[in-house]
């Protein structure tokens, strides 16, 4: 066994820090707990908090996204899938738009890359589910978010 050298603080010096520690914890006892009581009391995230994505819509209620695929290309985690389609009048829209949020790293690059300002990360951090599929957020889910 390797003997461990201890710093000697003397026989009577030993109890003093112990008492100090006791006093400190006692003073903690009378402070207000800092815990957020989650379901009732929610933490307000910062404005720039990056949470669940939203597909923005115009005032007319149409998706701003033109399915250019830039977000899909820039996404470092490769979690966005866009499938384009055209309306009869020649307007492009995402027929399918899926973000697998379980693998998303919430970097916000998709938001940066979008030329149409059509996607953004909201401050919503409350999404959960029982299956993996529930986290494959589709176009309509993201538009409603």
Partner 1 sequence: MLDFVIESVIKVVVVFAVLMLFVAYTTWIERKVLGRIQVRHGPNRVGPFGLLQPIADGLKGFFKEDIIPSNTDRLLYALAPALSIIPALLVVAVIPFGDQFTLFGRTITMRITDINVGLLYILGLAGLGEYGVMLGGWASNNRYGLLGSLRTAAQMISYELALGITLISVIMVSGSLSLVEIVEAQAGLWNVFKPILWVPFILYIICGLAEINRTPFDMPEAESELACGFNIEYSSMKFAMFFMAEYAHAISLAALITCLFLGGWNLPFVATPGFLKLPVFLAKVFALVFFFVWERGTFPRLRYDQIMRFGWKVLMPIALANIVVVGLYYTVIA
Site for ligand SF4 in 51-110 (CB under 6 A): 65-71, 74-77, 79-80, 82, 99, 104-110
| Least spacing, CB of residue 131 vs ligand SF4, in Å | 20
Residues 6+ apart with CB under 8 A from 56: 63, 64, 65, 117, 118, 119, 120
Q: How far is the CB of 1 from partner 1 (least distance, A)?
A: 7
Contacts of 87 (CB under 8 A, 6+ apart): 93
Q: Hey, how many other C-beta atoms are within 10 angstroms of the C-beta on 94?
A: 23
Considering CB distances under 5 to 8 angstroms, the limit depending on partner class, which of ligand SF4, partner 1, none binds residue 44?
A: none
Nearest to 46 by CA among 143, 121, 128, 107: 121
Nearest CB to partner 1, comparing residues 13 and 33:
33
Contacts (CB under 8 A) with partner 1, residues 94-123: none
* Near partner 1 in 18-37, by CB under 8 A: 18, 21-22, 24-26, 28-29, 31-35, 37
Q: Measured at the alpha carbon of residue 119, what is the angle toward residues 114 and 125, in degrees to the nearest 5? A: 135
**Cα–chain center distance at 25:** 34
Q: Residues interacting with partner 1, by CB under 8 A?
A: 1, 18, 21-22, 24-26, 28-29, 31-35, 37
């Amino acid at each position: 066994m390797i003997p461990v050298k201890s710093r000697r603080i003397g026989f009577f010096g030993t109890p003093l820090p112990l008492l100090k520690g006791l006093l400190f914890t006692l003073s903690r006892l009378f402070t207000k707990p800092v815990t957020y009581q989650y379901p009732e009391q929610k933490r307000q995230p910062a404005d720039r908090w990056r949470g669940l994505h939203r597909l923005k819509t115009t005032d007319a209620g149409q998706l701003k996204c033109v399915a250019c695929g830039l977000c899909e290309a820039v996404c470092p985690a490769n979690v966005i899938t866009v499938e384009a389609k055209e309306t009869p009048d020649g307007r492009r829209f995402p027929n399918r738009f899926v973000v697998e949020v379980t693998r998303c790293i919430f970097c916000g690059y998709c938001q940066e890359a979008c030329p149409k300002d059509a996607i953004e990360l909201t401050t919503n951090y409350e999404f959960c589910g029982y299956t993996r599929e529930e986290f494959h957020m589709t176009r309509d889910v993201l538009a409603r978010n």
